[in-house]
Amino acid sequence: MSDSTSNRRDFLTGRSALTQVEAAGNRLAEELVQRPVPSRGPTMMLRTTAMACDFDVIVNPDGPGSQLEAASDALDLVHVLEQQLSIYREDSELSCLNRNAFPNPTTVEPELFDLLERARLLSAQTGGAFDPAAGALVKLWSNCRKKDRIPLQSEIDEVLAAGGVARVAFDYSKRQIAFERAGIEFNLGAIGKGYAVDKAGEYLLNKGVSNWLIHGGRSSILAHGVHSRCEGWPVGLRNPLLPDKPFATLMLCDEALATSGTAVQWFRHGGRRYGHILDPRTGWPVESLLSVSVIARDSATADALSTAFFVLGVEKSLAYCDNLSDSVGAIFFPIPKQGQMLQPVLHNVAAEKWFPA
């Protein structure tokens, strides 16, 4: 094989990008090891529970007098969105869509239609590593876990043959959605929290509140403006092997951070560990990484890409990033080999925003 052919194949598979990112990461670590870690100053926080997790709105104490009322209303909006997006409520719009879109096209509320279209596009861009219509696959694994077993390959094959957003028809003029066959189900678990965070943030901005941080379940975060004497909002990134310990602090300003990993949600069967993140292309759980964090302009995109990158792995994710028109940052935590230390792979993370613990 010629050197030019080898280099070209390295680029196409992401190996070239991975080598460059690892080298840059080593230089970055050497430059930043002595920098002090920024700390958070006084804040005010409002909290609600929705989508099976806590949603927090955090603001500076010296903000406008109306900010707490606006924060409360923003959290009320999260409950409205849960009622629309939840597959665990039979009367939600998404549940109704799952029941009715086969065999008849179903008209969808405009903003929900736009969200599903965004999810479809992200699925296509990531080669199906993220799939918003893999609900039947998620349900199969959930039901099997309750019965203390794992699915048979034949069961997985049957679900994969029937599902997937590629089998969903979008009528943009009528804002209608139709399933090509029975058994297809939307499940927005990998993008819904981020979407709710974005909508809450949009509400705050419309009410004149410009400095805040919102998170859903601590895995979907959106920060706007500044906090205390910082040039943004300091956000802690946990060690995926020791979740109670910090690994680094990120400074976020007018951007989102989402993290996907299996440190918390997993189960063991037959002596083997199974995580909750499924590869919608194979139907099986993914265990190639400890965690992935994605920095993007909005929380919904960061949510979806963190899941997709966890499924794709480092090399293919970096190749995907090279083809993006928008800037996306990523922090990968590969599983360390025996005897080696935890070593993250950083892509497009600005040096001035990264503070190792």
* SS3 at position 126: coil
Instruction: Write the DSSP symbol of residue 169.
Output: E
CA–CA dist 235, 95 (Å, integer): 35
* SS3 at position 295: strand
Residue 17: exposed, middle, or buried by beta-carbon count in 10 A (0-12, 13-18, 19+)? buried
Residue 338, pLDDT score: 83
Residue 19, pLDDT score: 57
Residue 250, pLDDT score: 97
Residue 244, pLDDT score: 85
pTM of the model: 0.89
CA-closest candidate to residue 127, choices 311, 328, 350 = 311
Give the helix/strand (H/E) hosting 294.
Answer: strand 289-296
**Neighbouring residues of 75: CB distance < 8 A, sequence distance ≥ 6:** 46, 47, 48, 50, 55, 57, 200
Residue 4, pLDDT score: 40
Q: What is the DSSP string of 33-75?
A: TTSPPP-----EEEEEEETTEEEEEEE-TTS-TTHHHHHHHHH
Per-residue pLDDT in tens (0 to 9) along the chain, 357 residues:
444 444 434 434 455 556 555 555 555 444 444 578 888 899 999 999 999 999 999 999 999 999 999 999 999 999 999 999 999 999 999 999 999 999 999 999 999 999 999 999 999 999 999 999 999 999 999 999 999 899 999 999 999 998 899 999 999 999 999 999 999 999 999 999 999 999 999 999 999 999 999 999 989 999 999 999 899 999 999 999 888 889 999 999 999 999 998 766 667 767 787 788 999 999 999 988 999 999 999 999 999 999 999 999 999 999 998 887 668 999 999 999 888 889 999 999 999 999 998
Residue 264, pLDDT score: 63
Query: Is residue 58 within 8 Å of 40, Cβ to Cβ?
Result: no
121 alpha carbon, distance to own chain's centre: 15
Could you tell me the two tokens for 141?
Answer: 């694994």
Q: b/e per residue, 301-322, with b = 16+ CB within 10 A?
A: bbbbbbbbbbbbbbbbbbbbbe
CA–CA dist 54, 50 (Å, integer): 6
